[in-house]
Structure formats: C-alpha cells, structure tokens
Amino acid sequence: MGGHMTTTGITDTGKRSKLDAFGAFLGSIVYRRRKLFNRSLESPPLREAVPATKLEVDSLDPGRWHEVKSAGPAGEFTAAYLVHRWVGPDRPSLIYIHGSGEHPRDFSRSADNSFRRITEKQFDVDANLVLIMAPFHETTQGAYIDALGDLRNYVGMLATAASLVDSLAKRLRDAGAPAVFGAGFSLGAWVLNLHRAFYSTGIDRYVPICAGTKPDRIFVDSVYKGMVAPAARAQHEHLKEILDFESEFTANKTDDCSPMLFRYDNLVDIGVHLPSYSGMQVEVIDKGHFAGQQAIAEMRAHILRATGLSAGTPS
C-alpha cells in the first residue's frame, strides 16, 4: 500500500522549506503573548491518557454534527463528528481527522478545511465519509492556541480524538461496515498513530499524513519551537516522557499503515519521524509543511490508493 519511499536528500537541510520557517516565525509574533504550554506542564502521559479516555457514540444520522463528551486522566473534553456522506450500513467507511487549527465546521471556499478540499471533487467513493472535530476547534485559532497553554489540554485533545476514532469505528462495524479506514493530516495523523499504538484494532488501514510518533520534537527542535514557552522548551525530557509513543507504535507489527511524509518539512522533520515507520511503505513528496498542506491532489490520491477506494467526480 502506498509508494516506496526514496532516501535521497531526506536530511538535506539546505532544501528545507523557507516558507515553513516564515510561517512559524509569523505565528510566534502573532501569538507572542499566548505561547504553548506557558501556563502548565502538568499532564498525564499519552500512554496513560489515550487508552483510559472514554466517550460514547450513538447516532450515525448524516448531515448534522454530533457532540460527544469525553472523560479520562487528562480531564473532560468536548469533540464532535459529522456523518458527511452515508451510502449504506453495509458499505466501507472512511473516518477523517483534520489538521491543527483547521475549521472543520466551515465548508466555505475560504475556510481552512482539508476534508472539504480533499473530498469536494474526484472523491465520489462508494463509502461512508465521517469527519471528526477534535476539541478546541469549534471557534477561533486564537482560542485554540490559548487552550494549549496547558499541556494537559494538548494531551486530552489527542486522547479524546483517538477515543472518538475508536468509538466510531466500533459503531460503524456494528452497523454492518465491512471495512473502516482512517485518514488524517497533521494533528489528525498524530491521532491515527495514537489509535494504532494504543487501540490497535478497528481500523483496517491507517493513512497518517504528516506526522510520526514523537510530537515532543515538534515543540523542542523544529521551527515551530518559537510558538512554545521557553520554560517548556527547556524541559525536553519531561515533554518526551509525556508525549513520545514510538515504542508502543512500533510494537504493532500489523501491515495496516500507509504513511505520507513531506521531504522538506521543517515542522515534522522526516529525519526524526521516518524511523517510526520502519518496514512500511512510506509515500514521500517533495514539499515542505505548508506547501504540502496545499498538495491536495497528492493527498487525495494517496488516501484512495492506500484504502483501495476508487473515485470519480461527484455529480
């Protein structure tokens, strides 16, 4: 599943995206008074929070958002899901999780909504499409950044979204789905990898785009570190203890994951995150993080190829 990765130039920092560096710098200026983890570094680790976070999914009614409440070691959180397209209980289902700071509820042309952009054309698949909205994504980017002043909220957000993936997968299978796939970009890809690491069943094929298993490295030594409180950056070992889940992910030897990474990504450094995918076929495209975010055709093709779903253009 997916294309074979090539290794030439993977760690060539001379070709790193300047757009990534500029985007991260701009963000650090705009949110200079709201640094990530500036209020508290107290949090249960992901390895504890993810499997212990619980929520319930009842309805699969299409066309409206369903709000869910989670409870777990990191606290209580609110997320939501939308059954965007329903073709039948006996058809395959694709669960999609958006990227960090996106606006999944907004389907307007100007909105930052990767799900809309991927599925709005050439995605007329014979499958049910379900979109997850992670906690803190129902309002503004500023409110989202402010919520992440506490490390506990970041952990709870990931744990809640992973639990929602699991509950939806079970609900869809109970309804008769012969297969359930998961795809996600950035934040959504971290969520999928967490589900694979700590739940390991329920999803037939994971398609994580632009993530790995070491989210702590994003906050400590990528260009994104300017968004993080200096006191938090100085405690890398603490962040690693809370956020790293490489060992749990790599312990799962099932052939069920088709990752995509961006060769010149300055946030999700391919040299850091590629080893987690040892033995897997990894699709690598020659983009940086922000340019890759616009590579909708490539992401769409990768999802379709990895899941085996065929697509046309919706009428």
Q: How does DSSP classify residue 227?
A: G
Cα–Cα distance measured from residue 235 to residue 193, given in angstroms and rounded to the nearest whole number? 24
Cα–Cα distance measured from residue 209 to residue 194, given in angstroms and rounded to the nearest whole number? 13
- What stretch of H or E contains 96? strand 93-97
Residue 218: inside a domain: yes
Q: What is the pLDDT of residue 110?
A: 81
What mean pLDDT is reported for the chain? 89
> What share of the chain has pLDDT > 70, as a percent?
88
Confidence of residue 259 (pLDDT cuts 50, 70, 90): very high
Token reading at 193: 């990898």
Overall domain count for the chain: 1
Q: Specify the higher pLDDT residue, 121 or 48.
A: 48
Strands (E), 158-223: 180-185, 205-209
Q: Specify the higher pLDDT residue, 83 or 33.
A: 83
Cα–Cα distance measured from residue 237 to residue 212, given in angstroms and rounded to the nearest whole number? 18
* Nearest CA-CA partner of 284 in 16, 4, 20: 4
Q: Which CATH number goes with the domain that contains 75? A: 3.40.50.1820
The DSSP-derived string for 118-142 is HHSSS---SSEEEEEE-TT-SS-HH
Residue 3: inside a domain: no
Q: To which residue do tokens 């570190």 refer?
A: 225
Residue 43: inside a domain: yes
Cα–Cα distance measured from residue 311 to residue 290, given in angstroms and rounded to the nearest whole number? 26
Confidence of residue 15 (pLDDT cuts 50, 70, 90): low
Cα–Cα distance measured from residue 134 to residue 155, given in angstroms and rounded to the nearest whole number? 12
* Rounded mean pLDDT, 61-68: 97
Confidence of residue 11 (pLDDT cuts 50, 70, 90): very low
Phi then psi for residue 184, to 5 deg, are -165, 155
Amino acid type, 122: Q
Residue 7: inside a domain: no
Q: Specify the higher pLDDT residue, 166 or 141.
A: 166
Residue 315: inside a domain: no
Q: What is the pLDDT of residue 111?
A: 86
User: Are 108 and 120 in contact, with CB atoms under 8 Å apart?
Assistant: no
Q: Is the pLDDT of residue 13 over 50?
A: no
Global pTM reads: 0.90
* Rounded mean pLDDT, 155-159: 99
Residue 147: inside a domain: yes
Residue 102: inside a domain: yes
Q: Is the pLDDT of residue 6 over 50?
A: no
Range of the structural domain that residue 276 is part of = 13-307
Q: Is the pLDDT of residue 226 over 90?
A: no
Q: What is the pLDDT of residue 18?
A: 53
The pLDDT tens digits for 44-55 are: 999 999 999 999
Residue 314: inside a domain: no
